[in-house]
Amino acid sequence: MQVFWFIPTHGDSRYLGTAEGARELSHDYLKQVAVAADSLGYEGVLIPTGRSCEDPWVIASSLLPVTRNLKFLVAVRPGLHQPSLAARMAATFDRLSGGRLLINLVTGGDQTELEGDGVYLDHAQRYEQSAEFIRIWREVIARSHDGESFDYEGKHLSVKGAKLLYPPVQKPYPPVYFGGSSPAAHDLAAEQVDTYLTWGEPPAEVAKKVADVRARAAKYVDPHASLPPEGASGALGRPGGAGGRTVKFGIRLHVIVRETDDEAWQAAENLISRLDDDTVIRAQAAFSRMDSEGQRRMAALHAAGKKRTRADLEISPNLWAGVGLVRGGAGTALVGDPKTVAARIEEYAALGLDTFVLSGYPHLEEAYRFAELVFPLLPRKLRDRLSASALQGPFGEVVANDYLPRVSQS
């Protein structure tokens, strides 16, 4: 199990959908969140992408010098990046960071935003382009370890003699993460990505996604088994072969954890307590214009903003859809006391998920809260790896100037 946190490059707040309690984005604040995640033992951080966010590559590069072990899940954007240039960016970052780069392939689902960035392809065409993009990106990097070049001619993208002189640390390439809920997205994940990420839907729905991507992946060769013959214009993950590909799975969730269930649910109510109807209506109208299947599924969980009570928004035990009233993308949170939240995480893990990309508002305090309350309850192998499980002192507060506080054995 890997637990990731989130860098809020679009700002942070104690209340959703309002400037009240908001925190102005600054590099100092982002450093605080990154250093907290690094020192607490989170595996890595997701850095979001889009016109509402600061550029993820600039942010990730700026946080390298202040972190030691933290990995950075950074987006590549077909249509905005060219695959060969993105390969050089990735290789450079991976070398300078000592192998701390993870790649997030983002196809995009907001047509208005995409057109503002010069991308005019429809949903199906964007997935075609994304498949060609990541195919070229992976091949160029994988071949760089042997000094080879790569030719490819596709419907949307072509390269001739693409070559990377300085390969990354990670072989054959930094791992690729990707999320999407449409059949085209599942096909792309099955053929080419290393970890498929779903947004936080009820476990039964997540299980269906996992089963579908696994079945599709079985039709393709494991891309790590061998490279295509020299000079081939095809891609890793080509159809055929025994055994099929294997894909890892993960989930993107918010978390609201407190020492008791009542406190956690009160915190959830507080998070949306400053929302007014007009804000929710405008947010849902913006989401409705998107052609993202994942966004449609998120909106359906709260009936496009019409559900507002806890009874309506708790769509599965301890899974709350209130965040999605005004926040695009991941719109659900696990809510409860530490044992309950840990149990829900293990419920998802039992479905085959091993990566959990989490966040909470405000992100600095919630990074500490989740680590302190939930890390000790996660599987033993993960606990043993977390820095918080091996306190050496000084830690806590000395009792009566004479005694060290004891470490819980839970």
The model's pLDDT over 42-56, given as tens digits with 9 standing for 90+, comes to 999 999 998 888 999
CB 21 within 8 A of CB 278: no
pLDDT of residue 166: 96
Backbone φ and ψ of 252, nearest 5°: -110, 115
- Does 272 map to a domain? no
Residue 264, both tokens: 């956690």
Helix 123-144 × helix 183-192 angle, to 10°: 10
- Does 304 map to a domain? no
Rg (CA), the chain: 22
Read off the pTM.
Answer: 0.88
Q: Could you give the CA distance from residue 327 to residue 317 in angstroms, rounded to a whole number? A: 21
In the block, residue with structure tokens 């605080």: 32
In the block, residue with structure tokens 């429809």: 122
| pLDDT-based confidence at residue 385 (cuts at 50, 70, 90) | low
* Model confidence at 125: pLDDT above 50: yes
* Model confidence at 391: pLDDT above 80: no
| pLDDT-based confidence at residue 38 (cuts at 50, 70, 90) | very high
* Model confidence at 237: pLDDT above 50: no
pLDDT of residue 286: 75
CB 135 within 8 A of CB 118: no
Neighbours of 158 (CB within 10 A): 13
User: 112 burial class (0-12, 13-18, 19+ CB within 10 angstroms)?
Assistant: exposed
pLDDT of residue 117: 82
The pLDDT of 1-25, averaged and rounded, is 92
Q: What is the mean pLDDT of the chain?
A: 87
pLDDT higher at 392 or 405: 405
Q: CATH number of the domain that 218 lies in?
A: 3.20.20.30
The pLDDT of 218-244, averaged and rounded, is 53
pLDDT higher at 106 or 329: 106
- Does 360 map to a domain? no
pLDDT of residue 380: 66
| pLDDT-based confidence at residue 410 (cuts at 50, 70, 90) | low
* Model confidence at 148: pLDDT above 90: yes
pLDDT higher at 322 or 394: 322
* Model confidence at 239: pLDDT above 60: no
Encode pLDDT of 339-350 as tens digits.
999 999 999 999
Peptide bond into 168 cis (omega under 30): no
- Of the listed ranges 20-34, 61-75, 131-145, 303-317, the one predicted with least confidence: 303-317
- Which among 56, 79, 194, 75 has a CA at the least distance from the CA of 132? 79
Q: Could you give the CA distance from residue 34 to residue 40 in angstroms, rounded to a whole number? A: 10
Residue 252's Cβ-side half-sphere holds a number of Cα atoms within 13 Å equal to 24
Backbone φ and ψ of 319, nearest 5°: -105, 115
- Which among 345, 344, 306, 338 has a CA at the least distance from the CA of 322? 306
- Does 404 map to a domain? no
pLDDT higher at 282 or 360: 360
CA-based angle 361:380:349, to the nearest 5?
60
What percentage of the chain reaches a pLDDT higher than 70?
81
- Does 279 map to a domain? no
pLDDT of residue 294: 63
- Does 293 map to a domain? no
**Highest averaged pLDDT of the listed ranges 19-23, 137-141, 226-230, 305-309:** 137-141
pLDDT of residue 379: 82
pLDDT of residue 200: 92
Q: Could you give the CA distance from residue 175 to residue 347 in angstroms, rounded to a whole number? A: 25
Encode pLDDT of 258-292 as tens digits.
999 999 999 999 999 988 888 877 877 776 667 66
Sequence-ordered list of residues with C-beta below 8 angstroms from that of 161, at least 6 positions apart, any chain: 149, 150, 151
- Does 222 map to a domain? yes
Q: Could you give the CA distance from residue 79 to residue 128 in angstroms, rounded to a whole number? A: 11
**353 to 181, 248, 349: CA distances (angstroms):** 16, 7, 5
Q: What domain range includes position 218?
A: 2-252
Q: Could you give the CA distance from residue 47 to residue 276 in angstroms, rounded to a whole number? A: 29
What's the domain count of the chain?
1
Q: Could you give the CA distance from residue 172 to residue 223 in angstroms, rounded to a whole number? A: 10
Q: Could you give the CA distance from residue 30 to residue 211 in angstroms, rounded to a whole number? A: 37
- Does 336 map to a domain? no
CA-based angle 34:267:368, to the nearest 5?
25
Neighbours of 76 (CB within 10 A): 24
Number of separate helices (H) and strands (E) present in the chain: 14, 15
What percentage of the chain reaches a pLDDT higher than 90?
65
